[in-house]
Structure 1
């Protein structure tokens, strides 16, 4: 079952955030610290309470969250060089490493897609790290295509 994540899900979400950080730290130890989390518990509570940053959770029969999708609704800007579109940015998707292979990620993505469409969004965007080919393959399988490329020069 997919539902909006709740404050009671905080311990499981924090565990999943550590799993995501480990994947990133394995690929880019110069940028990520294994064992860290992207958000503190206080920051997570604020995100969960904000309707512009919906977090969707996939829960098992016991209502234990086994995967999440952090989203941010991006409103149109006053930029005169681009069209004014509403967009949904997927900040993070994670499925518990012990629950993978059950199409939970696909269900989460489809729920986000439906939510974005119903919210009047033009598109869904996200970033994927080059050192995470599994994630890139997943997003491509969901029908996503490259919009732009971010480049770096390490000094």
Structure 2
């Protein structure tokens, strides 16, 4: 079952945030410290925000994964059209639940939510060091929109 996150999910979401951070830390320790992206207090506020929903995948009362989403729209921008995008800021499936298609169910739910609520598209970013995530998103219909590049000095 996919549903909106609730306060009762905070501890599990924090554990999952640490799991996803460790993937990034292992891939780019020069950029990512070990920790979580949000504090418990920040998560409490995010859960209440209707423009930026957090969805969780739940099985038998246990949260197996999440998708943090953000509404993005550039009304009155000089060059960008005012399309409304749903940006997936973060997605994680508990390492113990991988292979059960939880991630696909979350992405399908996010796409359905976006379509039902008048969004033009669903967007996200993937770190180049996370090849499995890139393959997962491509398998689920995502295409490259833009590339971020760097030159280490």
The corresponding residue for 2:58 is: 59
How far 1:119 sits from its partner (Å)? 1.2
* CA distance in structure 2 between the aligned counterparts of 1:82 and 1:38, rounded to whole angstroms: 29
Aligned partners of 2:62, 2:54: CA distance in 1, in Å? 15
Q: Which runs of 4+ in 1 moved over 6 A?
A: none
Structure 1: runs of 5 or more not aligned: none
Cα deviation for residue 152 of structure 1 reads 1.5
Q: Point out where structure 2 has 5 or more consecutive residues left out of the alignment.
A: none
The aligned residue for residue 97 of structure 2 is 99
TM-score by length of 2: 0.97
Q: CA RMSD in A?
A: 0.8
- TM-score, reference length from structure 1: 0.96
| Structure 2 match to 1:27 | 27
2:74 and 2:80 in contact (8 A); partners too? no
Deviation at 1:74, TM superposition (A): 1.0
Count of residue pairs the alignment pairs up: 153
CA–CA distance in structure 1, aligned partners of residues 72 and 128 of structure 2: 24
